[in-house]
Amino acid sequence: MAEEIDDIMENFHETMRASLARKANSNEA
């Protein structure tokens, strides 16, 4: 179960980074 949580958290962080990157790119445009 701990491994599943690690996978979920890792996936969550990747999604957040992608979202923040998109937001930063749109702000610069």
Tens-digit pLDDT profile for residues 4-29: 999 999 999 999 999 999 999 888 76
Sign of the dihedral defined by the CA atoms of residues 19, 23, 28, 29, in that order: positive
Q: Is-above-0.75 flag for pTM?
A: no
> What integer pLDDT is reported at residue 1 of this predicted model?
78
